Amino acid sequence: MAVIDIPLQLWALQIFTGLALGSVLVLLAVGLSLIFGMLAVVNFAHGAFYTVGAYTGVFVFGLTGNFWLGLVAVPLIVGTIGLAVERVLLRPLYGRGVDYPLLLTFGLSYVVVDAIRMIFGKVGLPLSAPAVLQGAVNIGIGYFPLYRLFLIGAMAVIVSGLWLFLEKTSYGLIIRAGARDPEIVRVLGIDVSRVWMVVFGIGTGAAGIAGFLSAPMQSVIPEMGISVLVQAFVVTVVGGMGSLPGAVVAGLLVGVVTSITVMIAPQLADAAMFGLMAIVLLLRPQGLFGHRGLME
């Protein structure tokens, strides 16, 4: 089918599909950007935490049969694991250069995936959406899966809550101040290392909830975080390293571009994503909302 022959209704539905895909990428990229903006750590284990979130959700659902309980438990459990990783593994590496945390998280991702294979096996596990979110609903331009609409709304609520926490609370002020000038924060008598630990926990918790929310749309397998990590880094680079608004805008943009490309030329879906990144970096090397010199 030629592009000009595709009806507007199908274009609109595909855009909504892209927004649902982008919602998962937004949650992942927000966590990556938060961790990098505060700790200057490029977290290659982020995809592994995404996978842990999906498997944690399967485990909680298997015990309780309650999807909504998983929605609360998963970010808390994965975030707590993130707190321990920052405290025990990452903290001793601060001040030794960016390569050390990068290599550690890269190795950690393989350890986590192998541990998941040993515990849960290699066969994919299903996770069903709750009955109230199954089926499709008419959104005016056609019928659209209800769970994907929920996913878009859940992303908006989570990101809005995180923004309110960072912008409207005293602890959020400390986090933003520590990201800009940790020495001044130390002079004020604040334990910056504790703030870093909390930030890493929030970032990994965001990855965990992204994995849980995406699980009903795919099979839960140990390798599910590998490909999505690449997409999350593309989103983070396009939006600007360390920028939360950039993560949101770029995540939705990458999701829509990928979804539309799948409709027009499925074989070029990955190329379109990287092409978008190349165009943005050529026009604005720091990303859409990034700042120059952040990586220096």
- Tell me which fold the domain 3-283 belongs to: ABC transporter involved in vitamin B12 uptake, BtuC (1.10.3470)
Asked if residue 155 has pLDDT above 70, the reply is yes
pTM recorded for the entire structure: 0.91
State the SS3 of 181-221: CHHHHHHCCCCHHHHHHHHHHHHHHHHHHHHHHHHHHCCEC
pLDDT for the residue numbered 116: 94
Q: Considering the chain, what percentage of its residues have pLDDT values greater than 70?
A: 94
Name the band, by pLDDT with cuts 50, 70 and 90, for residue 254. Answer: very high
Residues contacting residue 15 through CB under 8 Å, at least 6 positions apart? 256, 259, 260
pLDDT for the residue numbered 180: 65
pLDDT digits (tens, 9 = 90+) for 113-136: 999 999 999 888 988 888 899 888
pLDDT for the residue numbered 218: 86
Mean per-residue pLDDT over the chain, rounded: 87
Asked if residue 52 has pLDDT above 50, the reply is yes
Q: CA 139 → CA 14, 149, 155, distances in Å?
A: 13, 10, 19
Mean pLDDT lowest among 174-183, 195-204, 209-218, 262-271:
174-183
Asked if residue 144 has pLDDT above 60, the reply is yes
Tell me how long the chain is: 296
pLDDT for the residue numbered 192: 77
Rounded distance between C-alpha atoms, residue 4 and residue 107, angstroms: 47
pLDDT for the residue numbered 295: 47
pLDDT for the residue numbered 5: 64
Tell me if residue 291 falls in helix, strand or coil: coil
Domain positions in the chain: 3-283
Judged by phi (left if over 0) then psi (alpha if -120 to 50, else beta), residue 130 lies in beta
